[in-house]
Amino acid sequence: MSRFYARYSSWAGLRTSMGKRMSFFITHGLRRALRSKWAILVLVITYGLIVMPRVFAAMNPFFAFDPLSYFSLYDEMQLFIMLYAAVIGAGIIASDFNDKSIVLYFTKGFSKAGYAFGKLSVLFLSFSLVTILPLIVIFAVALISSDLGLDLIRDNIWVLAAGLSLGLLVTLLLTTLTAGLSSLLGDVRYAGASIFAIFFLSRLVSEILLSINGNEHMKLISLWDNLSAVGTYLFRLDNPYGFPQLYPFLVIVGIIALSSLAVYYILFKKELSL
Amino acid sequence: MSLSEGENIAFLTSSLSKSYGLIRAVSGVTVSVRKGAIGLLGPNGAGKSTLIKTLLGLIAPTEGSYKVQGRDEGYLDSVGYMPEHDCLPGGLTAVGFVSYMGRLSGLPPDVSMERTHEILDFVGLDEARYRKIKSFSTGMRQKVKLAQAMVHDPEILFFDEPTNGLDPEGRKEMLDLIRDVADSGKTIVLSTHLLPDVEYVCKDVMIMNNGELILYDSLENVLGTQNLIVRVKGDPGPFSGALRRMGYSAEVSGGKVLVGGNASSKEVFMAARESDAQVRYISYHSHTLEELFLQLVGDK
């Protein structure tokens, strides 16, 4: 019995370049990540509860360019940033391992390096929405609300640079850490839980050890304290920690390097024999 | 069968091997495979999937080299792959997933969507194409896997156990689809351990066992070789010995002698005269793929 379905036809057109495919890969990934109801919820709460009050505060010249105000923004947002990282980042690579679709990318002409670049870009851009964009919005509102004089911009542009540097560091850390955990664990739920747990547990352990032996260096165990310590340096604030701010910076760089190594190992060294 | 590299070659390998520790999943495979419908047969663990994954660049060979479509890299746009395992993201619709794969394969946006609908029509997914894949049955999922492999109009399609988990009706439908693809002029490589699937779809056959390629020939040649079944009065030993001396294979089984090598009845009677045997029964017997497979795989 012959089939009655449509026939299979050929197509002889020109294929799109790898650059265009990559850009589609990234925008498609970004759209999917941001369409998640949990991601939308965390974004709405973060912007509603923390960013918007800061935007209104930035209209007040007294707070407009206050470094402490910009620095404390990250501290206030840390819970939401972690939640957002767990919600958005966990599935970025793990879901491709979960449903085993990762093999298909490599049979569609994508190299492993291209795949890793695309996924890391999706993570970086998604995280930027809570780590870099709020700062730019607040600074822009502060500028618009002021007299927009060149002197004012020249005197305060370092606050923006400091904020962007800290935002960039937080984004890089979250991007590599979530990608690393996502590829190592290969399971969306475990990856999400572990991202959240790493931030909380590291802080808990550091607090417990600090209370036991009183050694300030124990704070180097806490990921968020490390970021805060680097932040105090960037925003030219007094160092409340009992160690040079270079140490936490090195810890963060080390975690970024280790996480990148995990992604490299899983994607490049481990055979994808699914 | 040895063929040199040319336009008619779908892929070729030279001493291709892949080892996992002491286990050789693919062992020194050297072959030039013609375009067309090729069945890749072998028991589980024969190295079929490893060979396909190596040709797709998913696995790096331990030794040897290969070319697909005459190229050793940059050929993936002209290759489609339907994996054995499930590979579909449950959260996407069939249309969304197949058009996404089309875009990643280099189709422009409008072409990708147009071809997605065309291919989903072809595989027979009607309104279900707008449903999320996680709600699909095994047969529907297989169709989506087939659609994603074909959407970008590849020249060669690798199907790894495409009828796995399908009921008889679904299996027939899937094989019909694959045969239609082959009839449209595409090269298909159908990897399976089901012999009837190969007989139904393919023109050529490759048989692998323990990582080695033990046969590559056209089905016509393989099944066209005629044997004779001869029964003689008394002991068939001297008679089979006479046939062997004449250059034919002669296998004694259950009092009958299976004579290979396209021997004619004339030669059989010559051998009988030489060995003083009396022929009681003679008939022609064609190989079935199953017999050949069991003979080759059993020998190894």
pLDDT class of B105 with cuts at 50, 70, 90: very high
Give me the pLDDT at residue A5, please. Answer: 55
Does A3 score more than 80 pLDDT?
no
Domain extents in chain A: 18-269
CB proximity B23 to A under 8 Å? no
From B78's Cα to the closest Cα of chain A, the distance in A is 9
Q: Which of residues 87-106 of A touch B (CB under 8 A)?
A: 95, 99-101, 103-106
Distance CA A57, CA A142 (A): 9
Average pLDDT over residues A184-202: 86
Give me the pLDDT at residue A182, please. Answer: 87
Q: Which of residues 81-140 of B touch A (CB under 8 A)?
A: 81, 83, 85-90, 100-101, 103-108, 111, 115, 118-119, 121-124
- Could you tell me what percent of chain A has a pLDDT over 70? 96
* Domain annotation for chain B: domains and CATH numbers: 9-218 (3.40.50.300), 225-299 (3.30.70.270)
Distance CA A157, CA A38 (A): 35
From A136's Cα to the closest Cα of chain B, the distance in A is 33
Q: In this predicted model, what pLDDT tens digit does every residue of A54-101 receive, in sequence order?
A: 999 888 877 778 888 888 888 888 888 888 888 888 888 888 888 888
CB proximity B150 to A under 8 Å? yes
Residue of chain A whose alpha carbon sits nearest to that of B84:
A274
- Could you tell me what percent of chain A has a pLDDT over 90? 39
Give me the pLDDT at residue B1, please. Answer: 44
* Contact between A103 and B83 using a beta-carbon 8 Å cutoff: yes
Nearest Cα residue to B81 out of A274, A259, A65 = A274
Helix, strand, coil percent content, chain A, rounded in steps of 5: 80, 0, 20
pLDDT class of B254 with cuts at 50, 70, 90: confident
From A80's Cα to the closest Cα of chain B, the distance in A is 25
Give me the DSSP letters along A158-181.
HHHHHHHHHHHHHHHHHHHHHHHH
Q: Residue B13: exposed, middle, or buried by beta-carbon count in 10 A (0-12, 13-18, 19+)? A: buried
Residue of chain A whose alpha carbon sits nearest to that of B114:
A11
Beta-strand runs (E) in B112-225: 156-160, 187-192, 204-209, 212-218
Contact (CB, 8 A) for B274 and B242: yes
Helix, strand, coil percent content, chain B, rounded in steps of 5: 40, 30, 30
Residue showing tokens 């331990």: B62
Q: If you count residue pairs, one on A and one on B, with CB atoms under 8 Å apart, how many are there? A: 107
Residues of chain B neighbouring A5 (CB-CB closer than 8 A): 121-124, 177
* Contact between A107 and B76 using a beta-carbon 8 Å cutoff: yes
CB proximity A13 to B under 8 Å? yes
